[in-house]
Amino acid sequence: MSAAAEVLGGGDGIDFGPLPETIDALLQEGVVAYRHDKPEADRVFRQALETAPDSLPVYYCLYKIHTYQGSLDEAKAIAECGTREAARQAGWPEAWCMWTPQNPIPDGAGRFALYTLKALAFIYLRRGESDGACAILEHLAILDPAGTVGWPVIADLADGL
């Protein structure tokens, strides 16, 4: 059993989807490191990003740990990069405000782009930038009217502020 599997309670670790084995191993290592050595987790995740800048789960890991730690400038920068990379992979314009609704909601890179855009709205809220968060949420309401990527939860948070 891998170290990640042991820390995560058995099994084979976190399923990040289809990834090169080396990148998956780095992500699993980063997850384990995060529990006891946050700078090491950041280092490992950044190593994964340098190795595979087109690997979307790496962006997720990085913006997630920085959001948890309150490093919101860093979380925002990484989420923005991840959103652009996902848009590139989905064949969409780089600027999220130019994205158009897809029916059905896409899988893969398109779904990651929408999900990360939702995360970016949350990061904006945490930074006290409600106008930026609201602009994203308004566009997500057009792109994903059913709320399949979970943006209504962030909209409820925004409404409560």
Question: How open is the CA angle 87-116-59, to the nearest 5 degrees?
Answer: 85
Indicate whether 157 pLDDT > 50.
yes
| Cα separation, 26 vs 49, whole angstroms | 10
What average pLDDT score do residues 113-139 get? 97
Chain centroid, CA 149 distance in Å: 12
Domain boundaries, the chain: 3-160
Does CATH number 1.25.40.10 belong to domain 3-160?
yes
Predicted confidence band of residue 11 (pLDDT cuts 50, 70, 90): low
pLDDT in tens, 80-121: 999 999 999 999 999 999 999 998 989 999 999 999 999 999
Task: Measure the CA–CA gap between 66 and 147, rounded to whole angstroms.
Answer: 25
**pTM value surpassing 0.85:** yes
| pLDDT higher than threshold 60 for residue 9 | no
**Dihedral pair phi/psi, residue 100, rounded to 5°:** -115, 155
DSSP state of 98: G
Q: Which of 153, 139, 127, 11 is nearest to 67 (CA)?
A: 127
Select from 41, 7, 43, 48 the least CA-distant residue to 25: 48
Encode pLDDT of 49-71 as tens digits.
999 999 999 999 999 999 999 99
> Are residues 67 and 82 in contact, defined by beta-carbon separation less than 8 angstroms?
no
Cα separation of 41 and 110, whole Å? 27
**In this predicted structure, what is the pLDDT of residue 110?**
97
Contact 127, 103 (CB under 8 A): no
